[in-house]
Amino acid sequence: MDQVAKHITFSGEVQGIGFRFTALNVATQYHLTGYVRNLPNGMVEMLAQGPAQDIDDCIRNLQESFAGYVREAKTEDAAFDPKHKGFKITF
């Protein structure tokens, strides 16, 4: 399967609610690589790499899990970077 990369920014009340830890668990279930981190502006940034459908399913899962908190998930294509060997929380 072709590997793609997507840069996602989640806005709303997404910090301080366990979002990053849930993102880590969900991304790991889909065998994605990349990272998730809080941004100073209150948003959460995620880089997800793997099959496009798995990334889309991961994003949908997070939006459903945090339906009362995520206002928007903005997704943009990104360059695939093979240096990401797993998925992690960064700071």
In a domain, 91, yes or no: no
**Assigned domain for 89 exists:** no
pLDDT digits (tens, 9 = 90+) for 69-90: 999 999 999 999 999 999 999 9
Among candidates 19, 8, 50, which has minimal Cα distance to 32?
A: 50
The number of folded domains in the chain is 1
Domain contains 49: yes
Domain that holds residue 11: 4-83
Q: Which residues, in sequence order, are bridge partners of residue 12?
A: 70
Q: Give a yes or no: residue 65 inside a domain.
A: yes
Region 38-64: mean pLDDT is 98
CATH of residue 8's domain is 3.30.70.100
Task: Tell me the catalytic residues.
Answer: 20, 38
Q: State the Cα–Cα distance between residues 24 and 20, nearest whole angstrom.
A: 6
pTM reported for the whole predicted model? 0.95
